Structure 1
């Protein structure tokens, strides 16, 4: 049985995954400068309407990084009693602070209902930002809120393969790792550990 992933869950997860393993034994952060944020936002234009015409600056970068810290802290809470991602274990925000940060970010941009009714289509109401306060951070926060309140949250796991710092949503019941290469690394590490124990 394969599970599907909602747009809100994918967006929250992708935000958390801007912190990752770089393949060389160290962590990497895709959001270290405004250009990295702009690139990430453009890559998510299909689910972030604010991506059109978005320009990143230090203020936007700080807001999104602060929100990411809250999301990763709440991811750690969601996977407990399992261990959080190794990238977070020593620097998690306290849960009340993470919740406050997420809720404050979600409130940054009020929305108004907008009706669209194209030729030959049914009328659709969508919500769009009413002001230009900080629509990007608000959109990301609202996606995270929707994810945490959904049943999908129960499928969230931290990958514990050697050197991996990612979170993932289980896409099938037997999935243990975020991707096959992590499963291979974990099996190799287990194999080496067994041989080392047998040799001692």
Structure 2
């Protein structure tokens, strides 16, 4: 009997994801895994902890990451992929492009996650209604993006920010990783 090693599905749920599925299943599943990881990394924290900026060299907070990812969901799926009128920005109270990261003083986890979940639900609805090769256009520039590109980019977007979330979470209460 061999001992379990890191990477076994019992130790790391990422390796339980479908390894031989079609592209659509892989992309959807990996993106949902990343979305779920955001929730796990913020679980059981107070609003104060979610708003805290515990890394002295950074202005990032876990709540800022949640708000940013809600914005990114909205931008890429509703703004680029969908053939719907652009519904507008989520956080347009200032001219600060990074407002979702910075304007967290009065934000709550409940409110921010509710908004994020609304955007994720809209993203899933939009993606499910289109083939991977569907082409959308970036508002303002008209640059073309396939749904396949958007799904891949979203996996990358979440993965990069989840690395930051690990550091923030560890600084908040000592917990980190999967």
TM-score by length of 1: 0.27
Greater Rg over alpha carbons, structure: 1
More helix by share: 2
